[in-house]
Structure 1
């Protein structure tokens, strides 16, 4: 690393011995000659592994239901609000992230996400359910949304030659966050206790620990200098692929195209189908096999959550990299078509096999994660690199809708079926049928995607950005 890039220089004394905080100055985040672009994915991972804790929320559901005397639907609300605010903050903050840069966005994410945990801890300690929703859901959700989109456009500028792989590498951290958080949270709840005091302590530890990890990303991230490109890479003027454009569309114009809204439907359907399982994973697998010769313990259920996180994480890098080869539209055909067939397998197989249930759920979650990691590159193919971060932020409103719809479908139906006397798989069969229908809708929407009409393209002079190709020294 160049001496001028040392983190210690960010807090050097200014004139008169007063501290001069230069951390957020734009000049401080422009990479100097010799700086490796391969340091950007670890910076993004530091953020995404932290905010990916949200996928381990199901570990807290049963303890919160017992400690605060709330229903399954109520225990899902902090998670639902978090995902709702994630999409909204990404949509409204996307333009700010583009203009102020990734370091500003990562710092905002750090403060909001960690503070959300501390507020939620206070809510649990005082038995104030709505303070938990406000802290974890609203305040933490802002950290989720701003943090999620913070590295996307930066990664695409550093990796114009491999956009699917680059975004998949970083975004896989969001899917893998629960791989760490799930067993870690379970161990803390075991050590501290699953009462209000124990849950509050666990939330405090999370808030402080994730602040430390996210600080690494804030200090490490850089943007390429204007006109940088990888050594030896030449931009392709004519891709020969109908859905890959060399033109650019602004965020303002993108939302006026049918392609944007078709992708919105695709993402919403894919996310709804996956998030319904993910947020209720631990109690769901216990319910499925409660009355069988092989019931699933709480510890094993936490392990199932970790496996889903692994599948979610692996799918993000695997399927997004595959999309660089076979194309975005084709890989979404897999997510939606095969996903629907796997849900049908769960529906027909019911409680016949724990291994079948786990295997099918893991593949579904790999498609769920892959859908998130592939969509930035799909947007770049259709709309160009110009303002792709802002377009991505607007598209994530689909995640907001899905974050409410998926848990609402699964939790509300399970609660109603349970009140009607149903147990085991019958609590979930109707909601699985709905997921199949939603995936079919998404499949049709993906099939309708066509190249963007040239009338939405920006003039070439207006669309020039930092990613425009001119020679640079390093790769």
Structure 2
């Protein structure tokens, strides 16, 4: 893992808890990078907003791209599916390169910025749809994957004692950062200006990602905040409650060790199902709303509200999971996500616009909340040192969920119509809630010796 050179020589020491986990203490965030660690929340948040429009606003440009390039609707949905595939595919190898020191955080972000620009330029000027698949689907997808993996894992490293809310806040930028572009692509972009609009957006977002990433820094391995004793119960009630409900991993699992635990693959499958539902909603809510007779402005508003709630919900759910436990929160989120699919279908069939907007927002909340939960849960279960790779394994399920939710979603809609597709999506969401019940941290005994809240399983999540 790349670490920052200290501006001054700062003494530190390593301590072990009763499980043998090592904590590096004595160095503050100011000592390590010359600025408060809150910047490692703000900058990743900005970086995430810079890549969000490629996924959440892309289908809003469907009509213009179809008319401008004569691409079929099938190509549009498969383009999104390919983008999601590569965005998820890069998570695991990027994590390995990051933790080996071969890919510094700054370099990953700059590569991601280039990929973002390449994606929009290919949509604007592609002479053939194959170029769009290469430029947008693969190039922009890989770039977004590098940014996503770097930003999400950066937060957990700097906030190992209370990562849920911070991870959720950063993750939220991946959704609501797209809102201006949903309206831009839906209401302003047309055949006369689409190239200018897409190229300008690409340049702007490239700069946003690059500038944010230029200031990224990693802490040393095993780093723990200097003002918190990892071997004693803290007096801070927020931190104490977060550690009780989500105790740190019993050790720093290597990727091979994590892969040998059944819970990692249960998490992989649960994310596959829930992410597929989320992507299905992103891809098909706009065309479904239009087919149900809602005006284009209403559909754009629904999609924007979905993105806003999707993003803000990620931050809120992170805070909630700090208070009540990651697993318990995930169960509720899966129930909400599944139930919302039935609501979107019924409200659309009834033609009741307010009900449609509410169900869209609820679906967005559930679809967004799953990602920070799994990101924080992976660090809770397997430790922070190898979290980029370990979460990369869990997140790789989006390889399949992107293609299933978008590309195969189009096939299901064509065969079973929207009714069958939304009912299937809702049922999968409810089944995921049942699976989430069985997610438990590996290696942690049901009862542990008396000790610090940060090193023993006091909460239900540690059972």
TM-score, normalised to structure 2, is 0.81
2:112 corresponds in structure 1 to 109
Q: Assess if the C-alpha contact under 8 Å between 1:120 and 1:134 holds in 2.
A: no
Change (3 A) 1:411 1:130: same
How far apart in 1 are the matches of 2:328 and 2:444?
23
CA displacement at 1:454 relative to structure 2: 7.0
1:432-474 per-position Cα deviation (integer Å, ceiling 9, x unaligned): 111122113322221222331479xxxxxxxxxxxx9xxxxxx
1:256 corresponds in structure 2 to 260
| Aligned pair partner of 2:214 in 216, 219, 223 | 219
1:313 corresponds in structure 2 to 311
1:460 corresponds in structure 2 to none
Change (3 A) 1:68 1:388: same
1:266 corresponds in structure 2 to 270
Is structure 2 residue 149 aligned with structure 1 residue 149? Answer: yes
1:136 corresponds in structure 2 to 136
* Structure 1: runs of 5 or more not aligned: 6-28, 291-295, 418-426, 456-467, 469-475
CA displacement at 1:317 relative to structure 2: 0.1
How far apart in 1 are the matches of 2:268 and 2:84?
16
2:85 corresponds in structure 1 to 84
1:52 corresponds in structure 2 to 52
1:338 corresponds in structure 2 to 336
Q: Assess if the C-alpha contact under 8 Å between 1:276 and 1:409 holds in 2.
A: no
Task: Name the Cα RMSD after superposition.
Answer: 2.6
How many residues align structurally? Answer: 407
2:240 corresponds in structure 1 to none
CA displacement at 1:263 relative to structure 2: 0.5
Change (3 A) 1:31 1:184: farther
Q: Assess if the C-alpha contact under 8 Å between 1:115 and 1:139 holds in 2.
A: yes
| Aligned pair partner of 2:225 in 223, 230, 233 | 230
Q: Quick check: 348-357 or 39-48, which moved more? A: 348-357
Q: Quick check: 265-274 or 69-78, which moved more? A: 69-78
* Aligned ranges 1:418-433 → 2 under 5 Å: 427-433=417-423
Q: Assess if the C-alpha contact under 8 Å between 1:58 and 1:281 holds in 2.
A: no
2:295 corresponds in structure 1 to 297
CA displacement at 1:348 relative to structure 2: 4.3
SS of residue matched to 1:81: helix
How far apart in 1 are the matches of 2:33 and 2:71?
56
1:172-226 per-position Cα deviation (integer Å, ceiling 9, x unaligned): 110112212212333540xxxx22x633322211211111111221222223356
CA displacement at 1:65 relative to structure 2: 2.3
Is structure 2 residue 391 aligned with structure 1 residue 392? Answer: yes
How far apart in 2 are the matches of 1:33 and 1:309?
33
CA displacement at 1:240 relative to structure 2: 5.9
| Aligned pair partner of 1:452 in 424, 427, 442 | 442
How far apart in 1 are the matches of 2:345 and 2:434?
22
1:330-360 per-position Cα deviation (integer Å, ceiling 9, x unaligned): 1111111122222233444532421112111
CA displacement at 1:401 relative to structure 2: 1.0
How far apart in 2 are the matches of 1:437 and 1:369?
18
How far apart in 2 are the matches of 1:33 and 1:287?
53
1:366-402 per-position Cα deviation (integer Å, ceiling 9, x unaligned): 1111111111110111112220111111211111211
Q: Quick check: 77-86 or 401-410, which moved more? A: 401-410
Q: Assess if the C-alpha contact under 8 Å between 1:122 and 1:200 holds in 2.
A: yes
SS of residue matched to 1:233: coil
2:284 corresponds in structure 1 to 280
How far apart in 2 are the matches of 1:327 and 1:241?
5
* Structure 2: runs of 5 or more not aligned: 1-5, 8-28, 234-242, 446-454, 456-463
CA displacement at 1:70 relative to structure 2: 3.4
Q: Assess if the C-alpha contact under 8 Å between 1:95 and 1:390 holds in 2.
A: yes
1:126-185 per-position Cα deviation (integer Å, ceiling 9, x unaligned): 3x1121121111110100111101123321121122201111111111011221221233
How far apart in 1 are the matches of 2:345 and 2:79?
28
Q: Assess if the C-alpha contact under 8 Å between 1:72 and 1:411 holds in 2.
A: no
